[in-house]
Amino acid sequence: MKKIAVFTSGGDSPGMNACVRAVVRTAIFKGLEVYGIYRGYEGMIDGEIKRLQSHSVSNIVQRGGTVLKSARSMEFKTPEGRKKAYDNLTAHGIEGLVAIGGDGTFTGAKLFFEEYGIPTVGCPGTIDNDLYGTDYTIGFDTAVNTALEAIDKIRDTAAAHDRIFFIEVMGRDAGFIAVESGIGGGAEFVMVPETHTDLNDIVKSLKNLRKSKSSSIIVVAEGDDAGNAQTIMEKVKTKLNDPSKDFKVTTLGHIQRGGNPTARDRVLASRCGMSAVEGLLAGKQFHMAGVVNQEVVFTPFADCIGKTKPLIEDHLKLMKILSI
Ligand code: F6P
């Protein structure tokens, strides 16, 4: 293998740049030519492919977003789109790919490998932490800390006014951000897609809050089965039917996707990027490079997207014990 390309795809996450940098510099260290594909699968289809040098990735390790840009491509879901992408890669002589993204990215990569046989190794880039095959994903730690900082600020004002705040964090299908920011931020409740939410439990607990607790923080993952934070707040308010209680909703949204990556995310990203190139050279063809129990592990894309990573049981237990 002499020429490889790297791209970022799907929702961006802090640390993607550190990962791109590690891929480029490891590839050069190993004597490979390395190319950047811009805007993910969209750019692969449109031929936005450029040779990268070591200096191309200078001064990006600390930056959020992705210098390669990202997109969610509908065209890549069609056989015609994938054929155009393949033709562009072969025109550049590209023999291997590093895909940085989440489950959508790896679903595309798996299909593309099955159809065209271009070896691809993935790096887990998503704030959601919802990928099987790695303890943490690139960007998760930064996103949790961003959410935590916001929760701390909201708690100040919640306490000052004796209010009940519903704070919505990202996580369409996964509650990792909600649980870790909830534990760290001392939330009274956390609502996540992985567990059924009975609003009557929340109402009961709000009624039984000890007298000294006048304010409450409830963290809601955006994909909770009871609805979004606004809907849940309205239902709880109606059920509680206590005019003395003051409710507010804050949706944190995309601020969780930006910002300078934490040290943990930069190191994880760099390690996964380096391992992805090493994996390609060692013959990996449809695997993600993740870190499990401190060790780099290569997991087939089929497992990364097909198996569910459960929330940590102890975290759920902690939520119950610490909120009394
Ligand atoms: O997958 C990462 C994520 O940030 C999810 O938490 C969120 O549901 C989604 O992306 C939002 O996607 P978009 O930026 O395309 O609206």
Q: Is the CB of 102 under 6 A from ligand 1?
A: yes
Q: What is the pLDDT along the chain (324 residues), one digit of tens a residue?
A: 999 999 999 999 999 999 999 999 999 999 999 999 999 999 999 999 999 999 999 999 999 999 999 999 999 999 999 999 999 999 999 999 999 999 999 999 999 999 999 999 999 999 999 999 999 999 999 999 999 999 999 999 999 999 999 999 999 999 999 999 999 999 999 999 999 989 999 999 888 876 667 789 999 999 999 999 999 999 999 999 999 899 999 999 999 999 999 999 999 999 999 999 999 999 999 999 999 999 999 999 999 999 999 999 999 999 889 877
Q: Is 192 helix (H, G, I), strand (E, B) or coil?
A: coil
- Give all strands of the β-sheet with 216-221 in edge-to-edge order: 189-191, 216-221, 163-169, 246-251
Pocket probe for ligand 1: among 168, 170, 228, the residue whose CB has the most ligand atoms within 8 Å is 170
Beta strands of the chain (E only): which ranges?
Answer: 3-8, 33-37, 49-52, 96-101, 120-124, 163-169, 189-191, 216-221, 246-251, 286-292, 295-300
Q: What phi and psi values does residue 96 have, to the nearest 5 degrees? A: -155, 155
Q: Which of 12, 103, 128, 224 is catalytic?
A: 128
Q: Is the CB of 221 under 6 A from ligand 1?
A: no
Cα distance between residue 220 and residue 319, in whole Å = 13
Model pLDDT, residue 251: 98
Q: Note the Cα 175 to chain centre separation in Å.
A: 11
Nearest residue (by CA) to ligand 1, atom 16, is: 11
Model pLDDT, residue 210: 67
Cα distance between residue 8 and residue 63, in whole Å = 14
Cα distance between residue 247 and residue 221, in whole Å = 18
Parallel/antiparallel/unpaired status of strands 33-37 and 49-52: antiparallel
Nearest residue (by CA) to ligand 1, atom 3, is: 11
At residue 154, what is the residue type? I
DSSP state of 125: B
Cα distance between residue 174 and residue 207, in whole Å = 28
Q: Is 172 helix (H, G, I), strand (E, B) or coil?
A: coil
- Is 201 a residue of the active site? no
State the distance from the centre of ligand 1 to the C-alpha of 12, rounded, in angstroms: 8
State the distance from the centre of ligand 1 to the C-alpha of 193, rounded, in angstroms: 15
